[in-house]
Amino acid sequence: MSSPYLAASTGRRRARARTLRIAAVLLLGAAFSACWDGVSRGTPPPSGLRTVAPSMTTIAGSGASTPSAGATMSGGASDTAGPHGRFVATGSMVAVRGGQVAALLPDGRVLIACGSDQPVTEVFDPRSGTFSATGPLIVPRTTGATATVLEDGRVLVAGGSDSSLDQNPLASAEVYDPTSGLFAATGPMRRGRSGHTASLLSDGRVLIAGGTDGAGGALSSAELYDPKSGTFTLTGSMTIPRSGHAAAVLADGRVLLAGGTDGSRLPLASAEIYDPGKERFTAVGPMSAGRMAASAVSLADGRVLVLGGNASMVNEIPLASAETFAPDTGQFTRAGQMAEARDGQTASLLEDGRVLVAGGGSDNVAELFDPQTGQFAPAGSLSVTRATHTATVLKDGSVLIAGGVIGGADERSAELYLP
């Protein structure tokens, strides 16, 4: 599925091409046909940031810092340790996936969906450390979809594309009921979109913003989903079109949207904030660097960490830089550099306030960001080098890392990070 431009690429470059695919879905049809199955946007939805993005859902959990015994034993003996935590094997997924979405369910299980041309979905049970099939999607969503945990525990899956080329953005949406294990149609959205963001607001509604229209252009439109009525309505438009951007819900309920692409071949450094009360977007920032497919995580002190991503839609230039956004000033400040340039990474808020950054680089080393020092430190090594995977913080504080692209191919393996 890679284009002639990427035919001679290594596995890492192919994985990055898939990352770029969803972040910069705007020019894929005209510029190249490489697939990219998800944008990782490190977020802690239901219990943290409550923002979910195409490439993955990262959810802040609570409880002990070690997973259940069964969860660490079912996948084999792989165990890589570091000075700040370790990775251990767990069971493999039912299906191979790259660029899928994940959501933490109220009972502690994790829903995994999309990232495949088949409608199969599955749930991970931390007690047994195993994945099992659950009700299928109504519509297969290969790339660019979002998953948002609603206040009642159901999961909204919206948009994306039904092909690996992202040329047919979907307007359809569906809701997963953890009790019945089934999906039901809802919506649809006011227009098809892929590579958008979905953020749970304090009033229970979901903000859907930006994405691609499938015709080589980014969208500036945004809409709100009301779980009570099951309908989408248009809200104010963004200041500029964006696709493959990052989003994070602020402590005061507003939403930060940063980076992405507007349809040009260069990433955006601009950012803006959505005010749910006024239903209006306002420009802030800008960032110190343009970023596509960056990760954004709301920190415990109210700031937002934005890191990694890609600096070029054509030449694949992953970024090692990071910066923090201060809501009180509306400005970004540079933070420490990661040891590894990354795109297709995940960023997960841990219970102690640090941020785990995993995957998306040239090797399997993970890093931890310390908000107090503004610096990154080693965090052990993944069992394999992966990108466009998902990372979900479980209720016991461990992090489930699942699927993604390894050596240019989608993967079904999974592992746990023990802080």
Question: Got the DSSP string for 316-364?
Answer: --BB--EEEEETTTTEEEE-PPPSS-BSS-EEEE-TTS-EEEESSSSSS
Any domain includes 392: no
Strand partners, 130: 125
Domain of residue 167, residue span: 4-58+99-347
Give the per-residue pLDDT at 58.
34
Q: Round the average pLDDT of the chain to a whole number and report it.
A: 83
For strands 101-104 and 110-113, give the pairing. antiparallel
Give the per-residue pLDDT at 406.
85
Choice between 360 and 84, residue whose per-residue pLDDT is larger:
360
Domain of residue 203, CATH code: 2.120.10.80
pLDDT exceeds cutoff 80 at 29: no
Any domain includes 77: no
Phi, psi of 14 (to 5 degrees): -65, -40
Average pLDDT (261-278) is 94
**Number of domains the chain contains:** 1
Any domain includes 171: yes
Is residue 142 a contact partner of residue 157, using CB atoms and an 8 Å limit? no
Q: Is 276 helix (H, G, I), strand (E, B) or coil?
A: coil
Any domain includes 14: yes
pTM: 0.83
Is residue 145 a contact partner of residue 156, using CB atoms and an 8 Å limit? no
d(CA 381, CA 339): 13
Any domain includes 274: yes
How distant, in Å, are the alpha carbons of 138, 358, 396 from that of 363?
A: 37, 10, 27
pLDDT exceeds cutoff 60 at 15: no
Average pLDDT (34-39) is 33
pLDDT band of residue 407 (cuts 50, 70, 90) is confident
Any domain includes 84: no
Any domain includes 385: no
Per-residue model confidence as pLDDT tens digits over 52-108:
333 333 332 222 222 332 333 333 334 554 457 999 999 999 999 999 999 999 999
**Secondary structure element (H or E) that encloses residue 184, with its range:** strand 182-186
Any domain includes 417: no
For strands 173-177 and 182-186, give the pairing. antiparallel
Average pLDDT (124-151) is 97
